[in-house]
Amino acid sequence: MTKTYSYISIIAPYINDFIAEKRSLGYIYDSEAYILKHFDNYCIDNRLNDIIITKQFLTLWMTRRSSENASYQTKRISIVRGLLLFMNVSGVSTYIPHHFSKIDHHVPHILCENEVIAFFHSVDTYLPQKRYIRLANEYKILFRMIYCCGLRNSEACNLTMSNVDLVNGLVTILQSKGCKDRIVYLSDDLVDLCRQYKDYIKNTLGFEPYWYFPSSDVNRPFRNSTIDRKLNEIWNRTAYAGSCDHKPTVHGLRHSFVVRRMNLWMEQGIDFNVMMPYLSKYLGHKSVNETFYYYHQVEEAFRVIRLKDTISDEVIPEVTYEK
């Protein structure tokens, strides 16, 4: 159930062919198609009358907007860059953007145990407008899936009912980052919550929807940006709002899952190097090296946990040195 858009600018045939090629390779390419629709409108609004696109024509498109961060700016430009490369291969000489944005990579905020408890209490007591009550019940499960299973935002948002096997406690992630599939196991208590949630959704809607987390439009899933905003709104209702340098993000929940897992291994005396290949597969990484990206952030995370977690002294004891 991919979303389709009508492209009408002079380069519309190339946009359609580009998206068709990506999807033929197995990519979902929904959010990208949405951005390309905006670029299609940009071409119309700026009166592109020639299929040859110049650097000057792209200047405004490449400018960062007041409403976006550097990451989304980069994504916008990168997707159009892919289109322009496709057009070049098709015989159209266009300008190809290079070195268009520099993103500062910050260590995400790792939630300590107290913050996790506070966040999910805020999730569970969140009450939106009456017509969005169903969505409030979906957030309770969606954020738990992300945190308890280490899912990416897009992976949780794009789950379908057929992806979640509550008999065997399995979630099948299809066509995720790097065009990879994998299976994620659910804990027994999360399976019980998911069963209750599924019954609630069917009873509320009167039918079983295609998407596991249908948005206000039941025929469409949540957008990543919607869940980003909702997490920020819910976090701001906790006692910890404003107390950290970097606000928690949806991806930060995934990081927190990894750090919590490593914490448990450390507490149990289990070697990270032995377990890392399993964790790498579970997270959907291409290699163990990608997972070690999280490993290198653990020292900073442990420092934060020592300061904030009420049980940190037992989990991460201070090291004493002989003089």
- Give the mean pLDDT of the chain: 83
Q: In the listed set 55, 89, 123, which residue is the last one of a domain according to the structure?
A: 89
- Condensed to tens digits (0 to 9), the pLDDT of residues 171-220 reads 998 866 656 778 889 999 999 999 999 999 999 999 999 999 999 999 99
- Condensed to tens digits (0 to 9), the pLDDT of residues 22-49 reads 888 777 888 899 999 999 999 999 999 9
- In-domain check, residue 245: yes
* C-alpha span between 247 and 106 (Å, rounded): 11
* C-alpha span between 276 and 274 (Å, rounded): 6
- Condensed to tens digits (0 to 9), the pLDDT of residues 273-309 reads 777 777 877 777 766 666 666 655 555 445 444 554 5
Domain containing residue 192: 113-314
Q: Are residues 164 and 81 in the same domain?
A: no
* C-alpha span between 182 and 172 (Å, rounded): 6
- Does residue 245 surpass a pLDDT of 70? no
- Condensed to tens digits (0 to 9), the pLDDT of residues 40-93 reads 999 999 999 999 899 999 999 999 888 888 888 888 999 999 999 999 888 888
- In-domain check, residue 95: no
- In-domain check, residue 72: yes
Number of domains forming the structure of the chain: 2
* C-alpha span between 34 and 221 (Å, rounded): 14
Q: In the listed set 89, 124, 141, which residue is the last one of a domain according to the structure?
A: 89
Q: Are residues 183 and 308 in the same domain?
A: yes
Q: In what order do the strands lie in the sheet with 180-185?
A: 164-165, 170-176, 180-185
Q: Are residues 82 and 147 in the same domain?
A: no
Q: Are residues 47 and 134 in the same domain?
A: no
Q: Are residues 262 and 139 in the same domain?
A: yes
Orientation angle between helical segments 133-149 and 188-205, nearest 10 degrees = 160
- In-domain check, residue 160: yes
Q: Are residues 84 and 117 in the same domain?
A: no
Q: Are residues 143 and 191 in the same domain?
A: yes
Residue 167 has phi, psi (to 5 degrees) of -75, -45
DSSP letters, 5-58, are ----STTHHHHHHHHHHHHHTT---HHHHHHHHHHHHHHHHTT--SS---HHHH
- The pTM of the full predicted model, rounded to 2 decimals, is 0.62
- In-domain check, residue 100: no
- In-domain check, residue 321: no
Domain containing residue 234: CATH number = 1.10.443.10
Q: Are residues 167 and 292 in the same domain?
A: yes
Q: Are residues 297 and 178 in the same domain?
A: yes
- In-domain check, residue 266: yes
